[in-house]
Structures are given as C-alpha cells and as structure tokens.
Amino acid sequence: MAKYVLLKHYRGAPASVNDVPMDQWAPEEVTAHVQYMNDFAARLKKTGEFVDSLALAPEGAWVRYDGEGRPPLVDGPFAEAKDLVAGWTIIDVDSRERAVELAGELSAAPGAGGKPIHEWLEVRPFLTTPH
C-alpha cells in the first residue's frame, strides 16, 4: 500500500469544466458537493483506502522565521501562491493507477447547477524513506 494525497486547488490548476467559484453556488449545491465528498470518504473507509480529508478556507498568510529573538515575518493577510491548496484527501492504495482512478471519481463532485465540476486534482505520493 502507498499513501497519496489528492490536492484540490483554489487556483493554479487548469480551469474545471464547471468553473463557477463555490462562493457563487446555491446553498443546496454546496450541500450536494459536501455530501458527495462525505459519501466518497465513507466508501473508501469501507475498503480501508481512506486516511484523512480536510477542506481549507482561501485565507492564509506566508510566515517565515526571521532570526533569533525576532518575531516571524508575515506576508499577507493572504497567501499569494497561484496554487493555493483548497483541501486534500489522503488515500492508502495499492497502486498509482488506483490513486488516479479515485482522483477521477473525486473530480466528478457536483458543483453549480448540480453538474460535475470536472476539477483538476493533483495526485502526489507521500515521500518515503529508503529502506
């Protein structure tokens, strides 16, 4: 088994097919999207492939250590990276192919109008230490 993270991005990835920002969705569209995500996680919990998932707000800041006895530097209030992470799902699967298959399913979560958003998800394996 290998762990992968399926990363959702606020921006930086190619635009999804149904590219309407979530803050413009009707409340029932948001509810349907969240339910899809929860159902996806529940199904993977049954197969033992689910590890964790979390959604993040778009607000954030970059913070850096600035030397002994000095306060951290903060550049913000918003992170300006073009690939700001919106959330993630961590899975533990037998192969990269299975990770890609599950990312494809997650990409079909409903969005505006109840239609699949076809969003791009970044699939990245966890870094492992050599044995």
Give me the domain span that covers residue 93: 2-59+70-125
Number of structural domains the chain divides into = 1
Q: Residue 130: inside a domain, yes or no?
A: no
Q: Residue 92: inside a domain, yes or no?
A: yes
Q: Residue 39: inside a domain, yes or no?
A: yes
Q: Residue 131: inside a domain, yes or no?
A: no
Q: Residue 65: inside a domain, yes or no?
A: no
Pair 120, 100: CB distance under 8 Å:
no
Torsion of CA 100, 51, 81, 127, to 10 degrees: -80
Q: Residue 64: inside a domain, yes or no?
A: no
Output the CA angle 127-129-130, nearest 5 degrees. Answer: 125
pLDDT for the residue 59: 77
pLDDT in tens, 22-73: 889 999 999 999 999 999 999 999 999 999 999 888 777 778 888 888 888 7
Q: Residue 113: inside a domain, yes or no?
A: yes
3-class secondary-structure state, position 14: coil
32: left (phi over 0), alpha (psi -120 to 50) or beta: alpha
CATH of residue 83's domain is 3.30.70.1060
Q: Is the pLDDT of residue 104 over 80?
A: yes
| DSSP sequence for 107-121 | TT-B-GGG-B-----
